[in-house]
Amino acid sequence: MSVLAVSSRRRVVLADLVSTSVVRDLALVATGAVVVGLAAQIAVPIPGSPVPLTGQTFAALLVGASLGWQRGATSMLLYLIAGVAGVPWFQGGTSGAPVSLGYVVGFVFAGALVGGLASRGGDRTPLRTVGTMALGNLVIYAVGVPWLMAAASIGFSRAVAVGVLPFLLGDAVKIALAAGLLPGAWALVHRFRR
């Protein structure tokens, strides 16, 4: 019985097409954490902001959507725990990111949200993917901004000015890329499964 046949009975994400065992699930979770860690090495300082522009948000949302809510959240939790424990993969190779760590904590919740939405078809069309990724970004900001306020001892409006506004254009580009990648991956899956 094919995975797509099973999908009519239960909700499927891209990882379900390759994972049918606990060992594969663990490998996918670890790989997702590593992908986000590698993407974090792309770090561009933003003038006036203590938070750099990185590729990790894009990777975290793609990992969440591809793995589903449980594996996605677990992968982001592994990324967070390993980074706090000393793996140098936050912000371009650091293990400590006190001011921006809230955004990384937000990845755990965003991974669960976008994974859950993807399992309900939130990654099958460009428009749905845009909505899924936008909600994931909002969750990351909802955790990251209060953390930034506390860690940098700044008010809400300043935190938004340095921790949200400079990143909106980049987020829009990342969302547009995801809106092409995820539905494109599903189109390939359906083409090869015929």
Residues of the chain below pLDDT 50: 1-8
Q: What is the pTM of this model?
A: 0.88
Q: Residues 57-85: pLDDT tens digits?
A: 999 999 999 999 999 999 999 999 999 88
| Eight-class DSSP state of 30 | H
Q: Do 112 and 61 contact (CB within 8 A), yes or no?
A: no
117: Cα within 13 Å, side-chain hemisphere: 26
pLDDT at 139: 98
Q: Distance between CA atoms of 29 and 45, rounded to whole angstroms?
A: 29
pLDDT in tens, 96-106: 557 889 999 99
For the chain, give the number of residues. 194
Task: Note the CATH number of domain 3-192.
Answer: 1.10.1760.20
**pLDDT score for 10:** 59
Q: Please, are residues 44 and 86 in contact by the beta-carbon 8 Å criterion?
A: no
Give me the helices (H) in 86-155, please: 101-119, 126-152
